[in-house]
Structure 1
Amino acid sequence: MKLTVTTFVTLDGIAQAPGGPDEDRAGGFEYGGWLAPYVDEDFGNAVDAWFRPADAFLFGRRTYEIFAAYWPDVTGEDDVVATKFNTLPKYVATRTLDRADWAGTELLRGDVAADVAGIKARPGRELQVHGSIDLVRTLVRADLVDEFRLLVFPVVLGTGKRLFDGAVPTALRLADSRTTSAGVMLQTYEADGRPEFGTVG
């Protein structure tokens, strides 16, 4: 399976608490819910399209707990996201979670990189990661991410958790780029080895 990362980020790279004020207040973060004003039909259509090829999901503990408290109660065959979340296998990288009640969840308690590499080797289309900033950093360091889907919002916060803090140098190839009517840039990047360096001029 191809491992894809879908993340909401601000123009200055902040990925913390996009969905609500109390989603993640770590470090005294006060700006949760910054994506809400930009959600429109274009945004929804893009998200639905990215969910369709999912065959499994991978989460960090915090994101899993947020999603598990909401998505199991969302029903309806027309809701692509809810249907995928509630019917497909879900893996959680954690050393602290003792149990998981969301149907189809398996806890990964060992070496995350090795466990994820094993899952990727199974048949299927996409193993998708949503949110899960700390986990994504681990996956990047282990060269396990095949594709990044970044929704870049036209807002600057100046503080908060940045998606690529501590990442190893990685070259990316732009595979697709679109913009919603609200000004959100939908960028798809494929991993392309290590960056090359030189001198301009």
Structure 2
Amino acid sequence: MRKITAGFFHSVDGVVESPNLWQFDAFDDELGALLGETMSKIDTVLLGRVGFEEWAGYWPNAEADQDFAQFINNMPKYVASRTRSQADLSIWQNSTLIEGDVIEFARELKAREGGEIAVMGGISLARQLFFAGLLEELTLITHPVVAGKGKRMFEATDPVTRLELKRSSTTSKGNVVSVYGLKPE
């Protein structure tokens, strides 16, 4: 069975939204290598509506970071949205609207043949899949910065949930890469 993963750039105070505003010069060669290795395993991407809108406005015509642009533009992308139609998604190649329940869709997608499924640009979607037990790995790349404001991965209303640290490392610029899964009961 395929696995669903998600990864987020993360500040010390837990912000995952808009890392371009607080990442500064923390991105290093080790993170580049990690992301390259990660991308080589992925053959399907799940996006939330907000992430789709932001990314579709940038990546199809991006001039910088061509490795990621080529990867994400050619990747099959499934978009979770209650307000967008399939026609709205035509602005970005290989994008398909998830019809019906996103949790059920993710279960069915996991049962198909293929490589890893990555949640990208979807904080709320990643949270939903995580608490539904469908997200096997959550990678937090914690940059040495306090962002102050912005959306966090988890909210005060989330249930107490035990995690298992699967692996961690620290890069030369002080980024801590932590990979978590749900703790088996």
Q: Which TM bucket (shorter chain)?
A: 0.7 to 0.9
Equivalent residue for 1:10?
11
Q: Deviations over 1:14-67 (max 9, x none)?
A: 112112xxxxxxxxxxxxx10132122222222111111001000101111111
Equivalent residue for 2:129?
139
Q: Deviations over 1:142-162 (max 9, x none)?
A: 111100111011112343321
Correspondence for 1:181 among 140, 150, 172: 172
2:72 equivalent to 1:52: no
Instruction: Give, in angstroms, the shift of residue 190 of structure 1.
Output: 2.5
Q: Deviations over 1:124-152 (max 9, x none)?
A: 12100123111122112211110011101
Correspondence for 2:120 among 130, 149, 156: 130
Letter in 1 for 2:74: T
- Give yes or no for contact 2:50–2:121 (8 Å, CA) kept in 1: no
- Give yes or no for contact 1:4–1:126 (8 Å, CA) kept in 2: yes
Larger of the two Rg values belongs to structure: 1
| % identical aligned pairs | 36
Instruction: Give, in angstroms, the shift of residue 170 of structure 1.
Output: 2.8
Structure 2: gaps spanning 5 or more residues:
none
- Give yes or no for contact 1:148–1:188 (8 Å, CA) kept in 2: yes
Q: How does 1:79-158 map to 2 (within 5 A)?
A: 79-98=66-85, 99-101=88-90, 102-158=92-148
Q: List, as ranges, runs of 4+ consecutive aligned residues in structure 1 with deviation greater than 6 Å.
A: none
- Give yes or no for contact 1:5–1:129 (8 Å, CA) kept in 2: yes
Letter in 1 for 2:30: D
Q: State the TM-score, normalizing by the size of structure 1.
A: 0.81
- Give yes or no for contact 2:43–2:115 (8 Å, CA) kept in 1: yes
Query: What SS does the aligned partner of 2:4 have?
Result: strand
Q: CA separation in 2, counterparts of 1:181 and 1:57? A: 29
Query: More helix per residue: 1 or 2?
Result: 2
RMSD after superposition: 2.1
Structure 1 residues 167 and 49: CA distance shift in structure 2, 3 A:
farther
- Give yes or no for contact 2:52–2:121 (8 Å, CA) kept in 1: no
Structure 1: gaps spanning 5 or more residues:
20-32, 195-201
Query: What SS does the aligned partner of 2:25 have?
Result: helix
- The number of residue pairs the alignment matches comes to 180
Equivalent residue for 1:170?
161
